[in-house]
Amino acid sequence: MSTPTAHLVLALSCPDRPGIVHAVSGALAEHGGNITESQQFGDPSTGLFFMRVQVETRAPLAEVRAALEEIAGTFAMTFTLDEVGRPVRTLIMASKDPHCLSDLLFRHRFQRLPIEPVGVVANHPDLAPIAAFYDVPFHHVPVTKETKDQAEAELLRLVRDLDVELVVLARYMQILSDRVCQELAGNVINIHHSFLPSFKGARPYAQAHGRGVKLIGATAHYVTADLDEGPIIEQDVERVTHSDDVAEMVARGQDVERRVLARAVRWHAEHRVLLDGRRTVVFP
Amino acid sequence: MSTPTAHLVLALSCPDRPGIVHAVSGALAEHGGNITESQQFGDPSTGLFFMRVQVETRAPLAEVRAALEEIAGTFAMTFTLDEVGRPVRTLIMASKDPHCLSDLLFRHRFQRLPIEPVGVVANHPDLAPIAAFYDVPFHHVPVTKETKDQAEAELLRLVRDLDVELVVLARYMQILSDRVCQELAGNVINIHHSFLPSFKGARPYAQAHGRGVKLIGATAHYVTADLDEGPIIEQDVERVTHSDDVAEMVARGQDVERRVLARAVRWHAEHRVLLDGRRTVVFP
Amino acid sequence: MSTPTAHLVLALSCPDRPGIVHAVSGALAEHGGNITESQQFGDPSTGLFFMRVQVETRAPLAEVRAALEEIAGTFAMTFTLDEVGRPVRTLIMASKDPHCLSDLLFRHRFQRLPIEPVGVVANHPDLAPIAAFYDVPFHHVPVTKETKDQAEAELLRLVRDLDVELVVLARYMQILSDRVCQELAGNVINIHHSFLPSFKGARPYAQAHGRGVKLIGATAHYVTADLDEGPIIEQDVERVTHSDDVAEMVARGQDVERRVLARAVRWHAEHRVLLDGRRTVVFP
Amino acid sequence: MSTPTAHLVLALSCPDRPGIVHAVSGALAEHGGNITESQQFGDPSTGLFFMRVQVETRAPLAEVRAALEEIAGTFAMTFTLDEVGRPVRTLIMASKDPHCLSDLLFRHRFQRLPIEPVGVVANHPDLAPIAAFYDVPFHHVPVTKETKDQAEAELLRLVRDLDVELVVLARYMQILSDRVCQELAGNVINIHHSFLPSFKGARPYAQAHGRGVKLIGATAHYVTADLDEGPIIEQDVERVTHSDDVAEMVARGQDVERRVLARAVRWHAEHRVLLDGRRTVVFP
């Protein structure tokens, strides 16, 4: 009786030195693995090596993981091993703007974005119908100066109770506290509605209009305690002209925001994004 | 005996109010003008109106100008009237990087960029062979802290003696003094090698690499006394990845720089760029 | 008592000759009109002149229309005069793919796309929930070889009964008969999932994959009796690589499709698209 | 005495099966190789596996090659092993249009495009000054119906005598015979001035204008006996509008052509392009 073939994805980073690829591919070959797609990169500026491999194998995931853990010890490696396409348990946070939330849920439902949306948290009730349409539980958690601590406690409770792996700030207009940023470090993706580092902070489109730029942009990045300074995952831009006022920039910018955020979420969920200091390595 | 047809271009701006287009098109119609291309724009945020018209007419330019001057008085209008395609007398300033200079001269020679390059001014001798190949006089004007005033005097002398209408800073690595900026205001175009307002000042590609951006850009703008703050004419970007180091970003950025600068110079020379406060109106 | 100001948009085309702009702007000025945005273009290859004007005026629309009709007679002009932002009554046709339908309805609801979706017609029942979510009546009109005539009669009846001004084929996988194409000529927009004229007909992504192209695209065009040959309104592309299989191309192409279609629909609804033989003039 | 470190690049393809990466990385590890960058791809549609590796090693290239040849036998592998950055001996063919030739020579001189231009062959004398400026021997080889055989013989002689590895058709307006295509198969890159497969054959910009497309493009591809049907290496597009006539499209298209060709030539010279049936795998 033959074991069914599994399709695994391995993403790793470690200090760069000779022999890493050979050791890893050896461990995979020993378990009958056939590499279908792989990318490697050594960053001379940080001395780190990055690798992502998709491999077909009949060996159980746990067995492959055990083999890799040995290597990880030798090479001071951190790695994740997962099944290709396994949906990542995701909590989406939003406020009133529907475009990013609606787009993520649409892609999950109809285009197989590999996430499992386990809940929507919003500090306003407006977006409840969208969550309902896509059958995702909606949690209205208002935030005021007084209730911020309590709201964040509720957020962390949901993250725990729902086994959340990824939090997506889909135009969530509240700043997370340092404590939350640290507790969820590397697992929170935000979309900022400007081409960072231009126009940090509030009302970036108004800033962009005032400056007379000819392209507006959006930036998906990991959230850190430094506002709008976390490692950038993806960016894109759209052309604007003198005749586009702030409202028009906002409307056109929303297209860029949702597409940049969707790419970042997908790449993260597919283990294509690796941290390299304050930068990211993306194997798209 | 019939007068040959001239192709004229009119670019104007004035406070917005009813009747401007009618008055202008009336004056053109009276001189037998046939409008072949036109764009208008009223900016609600500044209350200014902008118009660019290309018109075929048998009337002499001076006659058309006289008719427009009357209207200009009524509407507090500033305007330029020129022949379509007349080459604008241009002085190009450079340092050691050849890509922008070489590209502008190539486009002038082979692709009818509507400028007349009357001279190249450089603070280093390296680019003399390129100027020579394209038959443009090369002026080596070194700049040190001690000789800066003298060098700028030489620049202004050349501008006067050569009837220069436009100065292009084609990766000229010196900062012009406030005095020169003011004297040539609106007639100096610079290319900055970043997507402004990100990464002002020195070594923008190194800044961009450090920040981990996923797109690099270039910005063509009018030079003002505020460094890297003048009205933006054109911007564009190019995608980079984690594997592009600073040197690679520099190389790829040069492609964006030369293409953004060439567009800005062409639009300016074709009277397609109008100042709207610290922004520009571009009728491409 | 002052009449409130109306914001009108005029779009016209006629054989090119001197005096058109003057005559039109004169008529507008006589009715106290203030031009806020305008573009003109004379096409030397067809001898036609095109103009789009947005004008603020206190005169009633009917009065302005009457004044323009006189001019139209003189210049053999066809024109439309409308209120800026008036929603165009739109019937959306779809099959099973939800991305274009969902996107149009989202934009109408949340981003003020200036259409009034009066109904969704689909030859499959799958998309009914999306129409329901956005409160748009859903008409399931199956099409087989035998029922095609009947289905088209139903379509034309809906167009009449619902005062439909625009029909959008949002990935409707049926070919309209010549008769319907002619009856609705100029008022049906289709999205084709390739960069036309490449890959006409069926399964364009499979064709594109087979050919090994490095960019995939989408094309919005007016529907004519010549399949995939109608005047192009808008196109865009997205980069693909060797590692994107047909399924991945389909998924990524859907992003381009919905964005290209949305732009085309918006421009049409804002009277920014004018027919110029088998090409279009677009004043975006 | 230590051997200096060499930086090698290996590019290979073979039928896909388990163990390839392990075997190759093993051979490299045995020679003290440190992988700095690598990409792999298995194409399910052709059953082929592709790999490109950059490796630092102190072992002599010949020794590494010998080790790889053993593996190549086992896996029915074809491979190239080269020094990173070694300039590829390149013959450039052109006619009268200077933009592609000038751009390639500029990039070679000033931006370290890794080619060694060993000669320019042109069927017109016009571009001789550009070749002279960049110190590349210019061969004027006119082509008429009568002399075509002779001209091609001269071309093949030059290829032999100059040890040419790559022939670039930089807007060379002659069609190579089947014999030449076959003799130089896989080593001739052409730039076609359209977004293939749209607008094959002559005057693509005129075709594009007639069709009213909203984007024009260029395609770099390997030359095969099937005109404009060879494997595509790279494509890009630029936006055009109704106001761009054919001449303007030609001018703007030249920017896309030169940039697409330069990328293709660079990727080929860096062994980043592998043939996969009638498609290419590009590891950029």
Residue C25 has a pLDDT of 93
CA distance B195 to chain D (A): 20
As a whole number of angstroms, the distance between CA C161 and CA C147 comes to: 21
Q: What is the mean pLDDT of chain D?
A: 95
Close Cβ partners of C265 (under 8 Å, ≥ 6 residues apart):
C90, C104, C113, C115, C166, C168, C189, C220
User: In this structure, are residues A258 and A105 in contact, taking their beta carbons and an 8 Å threshold?
Assistant: no
Q: In CATH, what number does C88-282 get?
A: 3.40.50.170
What is the spatial distance between Cα C140 and Cα C123, in angstroms, rounded to a whole number?
6
Chain D touched by B280 (CB under 8 Å): no
In A77-203, where does DSSP find H-type helix? Answer: 99-111, 128-133, 148-161, 178-183
D202 vs C190: which has the higher pLDDT: C190
Q: Given an 8 Å threshold on Cβ–Cβ distance, is A251 in contact with C102? A: no
Output helix, strand, coil percentages for chain A, rounded to the nearest 5.
Answer: 35, 30, 35
- CA C167 vs. chain centroid, Å, equals 8
Nearest to D132 by CA among B92, B133, A268, A166: B133
Report residue D10 as tokens: 């290996």
Structure tokens at C125: 């029942």
Amino acid C1: pLDDT:
47
Cβ count near B115 (within 10 Å): 23
Tell me whether B26 touches chain C (CB under 8 Å).
yes
CB of D220 within 8 A of CB of D191? yes
- Nearby residues of A73 by Cβ (< 8 Å), 6 or more positions away: none
Distance from CA of A71 to the nearest CA of C (A): 29
In chain C, where the domains are located: 6-83, 88-282
Longest dimension (CA), chain C: 69
The sign of the torsion formed by the CA atoms of A254, C115, C261, D246 equals: negative
Which chains share 3+ C-beta pairs under 8 angstroms with B? A, C, D
**Enzyme catalytic residues of D:** 228
Pick the CATH number of C6-83 from 3.30.1060.10, 1.10.357.10, 3.30.70.270, 3.30.70.260: 3.30.70.260
Residue pair A119/A101 in contact (Cβ under 8 Å)? The answer is no
ipTM of the complex model: 0.93
pLDDT value of position B227: 82
CA C192 centroid distance within chain: 13
Percent of chain A at pLDDT > 70 equals: 99
Mean pLDDT along residues B71-92: 97
**Cα three-residue angle A185-A188-A193, rounded to 5 degrees:** 130
pLDDT in tens, B245-260: 999 999 999 999 999 9
Residues 6+ apart with CB under 8 A from C32: B18, C57, C58, C59
Strand, helix or coil for residue D259:
helix
Question: Cβ distance C130 to C103 under 8 Å?
Answer: no
Tell me, what amino acid is at A98?
P
Q: Measured between CB atoms, does D269 come within 8 Å of chain C?
A: no
Same fold across A6-83 and A88-282:
no
Nearest to B39 by CA among C271, C47, C37, C43: C37
Alpha helices in chain C, H assignment, sequence order: 20-30, 61-75, 99-111, 128-133, 148-161, 178-183, 204-211, 246-269
Residue D1 has pLDDT above 50, yes or no: no
Confidence of residue A167 (pLDDT cuts 50, 70, 90): very high
Confidence of residue B5 (pLDDT cuts 50, 70, 90): confident
Q: How far apart are CA D276 and CA C212, in angstroms?
A: 9
Q: Does this model's pTM top 0.80?
A: yes
Nearest-neighbour CA in chain C from A98: distance (Å): 8
Q: Do B259 and D254 touch (CB under 8 A)?
A: no
Cα–Cα distance for residue pair D171/A101, rounded to 1 Å = 48
Q: Determine contact: D132 vs chain B, CB below 8 A.
A: no
Q: To probe the interface with C, which of D45, D195, D261 has the most C CB atoms within 10 Å?
A: D195
Residues with Cβ within 8 Å of residue D283, at least 6 apart in sequence:
D39, D41, D50, D52, D272, D274
Please tell me the predicted confidence (pLDDT) of residue C3.
Answer: 63
pLDDT digits (tens, 9 = 90+) for A122-153: 999 999 999 999 999 999 999 999 999 999 99
DSSP symbol at A141: -
> CB-CB: which of D197, D234, D241 is closest to C282?
D241
Give the per-residue pLDDT at B1: 47
Q: Cβ separation of D111 and B102 shorter than 8 Å?
A: no
Closest CA of chain B from D60, distance in Å: 26
Looking at residues B110-122, what average pLDDT do you find?
96
Q: Which two tokens stand for residue C62?
A: 């009917």
Chain D hits for A28, CB-CB cut-off 8 Å, are 22
**Which of A14, A20, A25 would you mutate first to test chain D, the one with the most D CBs within 10 A?**
A25
Q: Do B38 and C38 touch (CB under 8 A)?
A: yes
DSSP, res C138: E
- C133-177 pLDDT, tens digit each: 999 999 999 999 999 999 999 999 999 999 999 999 999 999 999
The span from the CA of A90 to the CA of A117, in Å, is 5
Confidence at A227, pLDDT banded by 50, 70, 90: confident
Cα end-to-end span (Å), chain C: 36
Write the secondary structure of chain B as one string of H (helix), E (strand) and C (coil): CCCCCEEEEEEEEEECCCCHHHHHHHHHHHCCCEEEEEEEEEECCCCEEEEEEEEEECCCHHHHHHHHHHHHHHHCCEEEEEECCCCEEEEEEECCCCHHHHHHHHHHHHHCCCEEEEEEEECCCCCHHHHHHCCCCEEECCCCCCCHHHHHHHHHHHHHHCCCCEEEECCCCCCCCHHHHHHCCCCEEEEECCCCCCCCCCCHHHHHHHHCCCEEEEEEEECCCCCCCCCEEEEEEEECCCCCCHHHHHHHHHHHHHHHHHHHHHHHHCCCEEEECCEEEECC
The verdict on C238 touching D (C-beta cutoff 8 Å) is no
**Per-residue model confidence (pLDDT) at position C2:** 56
User: Cβ contacts of residue C118 below 8 Å, gap of 6+?
Assistant: C89, C90, C91, C136, C137, C162, C163, C164
Cβ–Cβ contact A110 with C under 8 A: yes
**Chain position carrying tokens 């890009």:** D236
Kindly report, residue by residue over B23-71, the tens digit of the pLDDT.
Answer: 999 999 999 899 988 999 999 999 999 999 999 999 999 999 999 999 9
Band of residue A69 on the pLDDT scale cut at 50, 70, 90 = very high
Identify all chain C residues contacting A112, using CB atoms and an 8 Å cutoff. Answer: 251
CA-to-CA separations, A128 to A101, A131, A143, A191, in angstroms, rounded: 11, 5, 16, 20
Query: Does the annotation mark A236 as catalytic?
Result: no
Residue B3 has pLDDT above 70, yes or no: no
pLDDT digit string, tens, across residues D81-110: 999 999 999 999 999 999 999 999 999 999
pLDDT tens sequence across C195-218: 989 898 889 999 999 999 999 999
C25-to-A260, B19, C52 alpha-carbon distances in Å: 43, 8, 11
- For B244, residues 6+ apart whose C-beta sits below 8 A from its C-beta are B209, B252
Confidence band for B112, pLDDT divided at 50, 70 and 90: confident
A46 shares contact with chain B (CB less than 8 Å): no
Distance CA C205, CA C209 (A): 6
Torsion of CA B180, B183, B184, B190, to 10 degrees: 30
Residue D34 in tokens: 């440190």
Helix (H, G, I), strand (E, B) or coil at D9: strand
Per-residue pLDDT at B2: 56
Listed in sequence order, the residues at least 6 apart from C248 whose beta carbon sits closer than 8 Å to its beta carbon are C240
Confidence of residue A5 (pLDDT cuts 50, 70, 90): confident
Q: How far apart are CA B193 and CA B261, in angstroms?
A: 10
Report pLDDT for D101: 98
Query: Is C54 an interface residue toward A (CB < 8 Å)?
Result: no
- Read off the amino acid at residue B266: R
C neighbour chains, 3+ CB pairs within 8 Å: A, B, D
**CA-based nearest distance A38→chain D, Å:** 5
- The angle formed by the CA atoms of residues D252, C200 and C120, to the nearest 5 degrees, is 105
